[in-house]
Amino acid sequence: MRPLLAVSLVVLAACGGSTPAQPDPATPTAASASATPTAGDYPAADPPAPPAAASGPSLAFPRACADQSADVCSPPSAFVDYLCTKSHQDIALALFASGTPFTRMYLRGKLDELAWDEEVLALRFHGVPKGGIQVGSGAGSYDVLRWDGTCSMAVEADMLTKNKPGRPKTAKVKWHRLGDKTQTALIASSDAVKRAYKKRGAECQGAMSGDVSASCEKADGALVDAIVDYMRGGGRVPPPDGM
């Protein structure tokens, strides 16, 4: 019985040992809390750009022609791919600034959401592939950028002209989709934009969309017109962060 008792005491001693307490998985550590990302300059409604695209050296803000096919000046193809993944209101405003080299084109008719005489930037030309199926007139097509930061793809070349109309139309610039840095620059640099911004604030009471009054819609349109006039008159906005 004595040997059995000795073994039992050893077993009891081993069972009585304490194991290290495991951290509560629901409680964040200091390291994980400090890694929480902070908001950028873009509105929270827009998802962040894919990390691979945002870090690519070829996606620096373009300042010179990368493609002059079909007698147009276009940004680099990789930049166009990134630009057309979603709406980029800040980038569009910077690209449309007076003095940038990219080719402006104008609609020769109404096409889906595009308006007659609407101004767009030529992003990329698509010719008819050799031996391919001809669609439309066979003159090719363009991917284009609108003033609201959206792209329209494969617009037939026959629907576009380089001849500027008297008062080109624009897709509606969306103020709430501009980053803080761009908004601040516009208000600080243009008295007309500043006045229109204050007027819109008084009429719309912070509303960005939905059911608004006629006076709010009018004030919103006046703000868009002031921004477009400023940019066409030589105004500048800073490129988005990281570009």
Domain boundaries of the chain, sorted by first residue: 57-161, 175-232
How sure is the predictor about 234, in pLDDT bands with cuts at 50, 70 and 90?
very high
Compare 239 and 122 and report the one with higher pLDDT.
122
- Asked whether residue 20 carries a pLDDT value surpassing 70, the answer given is no
Residue in this structure with the two tokens 């005489």, named with its chain if needed: 117
Three-state DSSP at 48 gives coil
Q: What own/partner pairs with CB < 8 Å and gap ≥ 24 does 71-78 have? A: 72/103, 72/105, 72/122, 72/125, 72/142, 73/101, 73/102, 73/103, 73/122, 74/102, 74/103, 74/122, 74/123, 74/124, 74/125, 75/102, 75/123, 77/124
Kindly report, residue by residue over 53-106, the tens digit of the pLDDT.
Answer: 444 444 789 999 986 666 899 999 999 999 999 999 999 999 999 999 999 999
Predicted TM-score (pTM) of the model is: 0.72
Give the span between the Cα atoms of 103 and 95, in whole angstroms: 10
- Asked whether residue 149 carries a pLDDT value surpassing 50, the answer given is yes
Q: Which helix (H) or strand (E) holds 177?
A: none
| Closest C-alpha among 181, 195, 179, 180 to residue 227 | 195
Rounded to the nearest angstrom, the gap between the alpha carbon of residue 115 and the centroid of all alpha carbons in its chain is 21
**pLDDT (mean) for 165-172:** 96
